[in-house]
Structure 1
Amino acid sequence: MIAQKTRYALRSLLYLVEEGGGGPVQLARIASSQNVPPKYLELIMLDLKKTGLVKSIRGPKGGYVLARPPEAISFGEIVRTMEGPIALVSCASVNYYAPCGDCHDEATCAIRRAFAVLRDQSTAVLDSISLAQGAEWEERLAPREPLVHQA
């Protein structure tokens, strides 16, 4: 499972795509629209800024903007920013490897191998989904106002 912090980050970045239109969006607006506690969102946005996913613009018309086009930011990058490694066991992690201590021979450990396959497939899927695609999905799946037919 991903942490609530990661879901808030994903939702906030999708909101920047949908509502930002390239201009800055104030933190309070993001927080209220996404139902995220503002102080918690400040910490999340700081993490996203440190890793180059968003930029902050100062001033009365300031706020946050994406640092790159939404097509160039993947769900995988966001998840790794907020969560760290995608691998569910440390012995299957590429960047954060640590021996698990449970197996006698990692080279023949079926559990390690299974979780490495899961890591690779999960990473491939998350890396293939951009913020632009996620925003498009949300737009298509959003409930629409029913058309009113006049007689």
Structure 2
Amino acid sequence: MFFGKRLRRERQKRHLSQEALAEIVGISSKSISRWEQGQALPRGYVRLLLCRFFHLHPDDLFAENDEQTEPRFYHQTSHSQNGHAEHDSTDVAQVLHTLAELYAKQGKYEQAEPLFHQALQIWEERDHSTAYGSGV
């Protein structure tokens, strides 16, 4: 499990303690420690939060091998020929993400996790249609 190494590397690059990252993400520092030691993996919605916080594609943060490849960054804005399609999908993803957060805050993780996955999938599909690591 190489996620722990990547998480530690990204956290340390930003000069964050486990406690500081835990506070940012809204979880316990013990969870961060377990993830970095390879004892556990975060739930779907926390994975999304980590990817967005570090501006990394999930494949770069959660890949099965530790090969260092050219990182693919999430872009907050994107452009399409008609200017609408990507904004629409981003809006849908944001609504799904917000709804999932509401479920998660109520402890309804079974309802939240599929919504987080759907939002992440929309963002991934949108990002696959734009250039990764294109120096933007």
Higher helix share: 2
Question: Fold match, TM over 0.5?
Answer: no
- Shorter-chain TM-score: which interval? 0.3 to 0.5
TM-score (norm 1): 0.31
Q: Over alpha carbons, which structure has the higher Rg?
A: 1
